[in-house]
Amino acid sequence: MTTETAETVEAAGVAPAADPGFLQRHGASIEYILIPAAALVGALAVFGGFVALYGKNPLDLYFYMYYGAFGTAFSWQNTLTRAAPLILTALCTALPAQLGMVIIGGEGALLIGALSATSAALALQGAAPIVVQIAMVIAGMIGGGLWIALSGGLRQYRGVNETISSLLLVYIALAILNHLVEGPMRDPASLNKPSTREIGAANMIGSIPGTDVHWGLVFGLVAAVAAYILIYHTTFGFAARVAGGNIRAAKIVGLSVGKLIMTVCFLAGSCAGLAGMIEVAAVQGRTNANLAAGYGFTGILVAFLARQNPLAIIPVAILLGGISASGGLLQRRLGLPDASVLVLQGIIFVFVLASDALYGRIGLLKGKS
């Protein structure tokens, strides 16, 4: 990303300054925490004002948001359960971002991943649960991976803008899902809510012992750490970041940009596909339209708020998971519509993007150059 290269240049300029003091020395890294945090606070303040216009007390709002997200053991579990798919769908945006691509189709890859995983489980009925579960993981990741690789391939080989194609593919994925669960894959017993047959209780991935949080969270954490290592500590990740910074330079030094794009997009999609598999195997137990719950879209926000850094995605996903976990409480206690979470997410997104303009401009953190 261009902003990041600007940042590194600035950081390099800061280093040789004589005794620049702590703030100046760590200015760039402090900025990465301070500015998103300030954007978040600003967004919460605006949302509070918005809710006040709606006739509710903003202080009540903040209290219930905190209480519903992190106030009790129950709300923590709710938050973490929601954070799991968010980490994975955020990776679907963050990985291609290293190459300078803006992929916003995580929701589609999630749905296709869920469908593939369900198909695998239904095809393997009767096999040992561990076999079924592994097959589900593989099928979900391949399904989601191919879905985003399609966007990457179209960008690389046909010059089709990946942002638009990935979003169009979300609607196509949703249509395929609706078609299959209402037609060929429909369980005749599901009357009101057309669904596929259940994958079977034995094949569900359970909760982490001692909690109600399912194993999906561990999947998410492992994927985020693996993505971090891949991007910052392997030659592959380095090549990807070079190509993201300057595609012409990457070609001159002999990097195969096409291969990079396809691999990164496949990995990104397989993360979102894994999220779909988890939603099936840990929450829903079958595929139906409930899966299009918007995790893919919130994941975009998580990735941008985390500045596309896989490790930063973990706390941000927990935060955003907490906000959506508190939605129910806001509805019950304050009588706010369920869309209030969407409004807050939108406001946060706007603030985070606008705050991009602040980097390198805070006087106190600026090195003498």
Partner 1 sequence: MADASLGLWTVPLAVFGGAIRVSTPFLFVSLGECITERSGRINLGLEGTLVMGAMSAYGISYLSGSPWLGVLAAGITGALFGALHAGICSLPRVNDIAVGIALMLLGTGLAFFLGKPLIEPTAARLPAIDFGWWSDVPQLRAALRINVLFLIGVAIAPLLYWAFKTTRWGLLIRTAGESADAARAMGHSVLLIRLRATMVGGFLAGIGGSFLSLFYPGSWNEGLSSGQGITAVALVIFARWDPMLCLWASLAFGGAAALGPALQSVGITSGYHLFNAAPYILTLAIMIITCSPKRTLTGAPAELSITR
In the complex with partner 1, which residue's Cβ is closer, 25 or 186?
Answer: 186
Of 24-32, 55-63, 162-170, 313-321, which part binds partner 1 (CB under 8 A)?
162-170
Give the C-alpha separation, 286 to 271, whole Å: 19
Q: Counting contacts by CB under 8 A, is residue 312 touching partner 1? A: no
Q: Counting contacts by CB under 8 A, is residue 326 touching partner 1? A: no
Q: Counting contacts by CB under 8 A, is residue 257 touching partner 1? A: no
Q: 225-259: string of b/e by CB count within 10 Å (b at 16+)?
A: eebbebbeeeeebebbbbbbbebeebeeeebebee
For the CB of residue 104, give the shortest distance to partner 1 in the complex, in Å: 6
Q: Counting contacts by CB under 8 A, is residue 337 touching partner 1? A: yes
Element (H, E) at 363: none
**Which one of 75, 281, 297, 326 is in contact with partner 1 (CB under 8 A)?**
297
Name the packing angle between helices 106-123 and 295-305 (round to 10°): 130
Q: Counting contacts by CB under 8 A, is residue 21 touching partner 1? A: no
| Cα distances (Å, whole numbers) of residue 89 to 84, 92, 105, 237 | 9, 5, 9, 19
Give the C-alpha separation, 320 to 314, whole Å: 10
Q: Counting contacts by CB under 8 A, is residue 16 touching partner 1? A: no
**Which one of 38, 40, 138, 172 is in contact with partner 1 (CB under 8 A)?**
172
**Which one of 59, 171, 222, 253 is in contact with partner 1 (CB under 8 A)?**
171
For residue 365, the tally of other CB atoms under 10 A from its CB is: 20
Contacts with partner 1 by CB under 8 A lie at 2-3, 6, 102, 104, 154, 156-161, 163-165, 167-172, 174-176, 178-179, 182-183, 297, 300-301, 304, 336-347, 349-350, 352-354, 356-357, 359
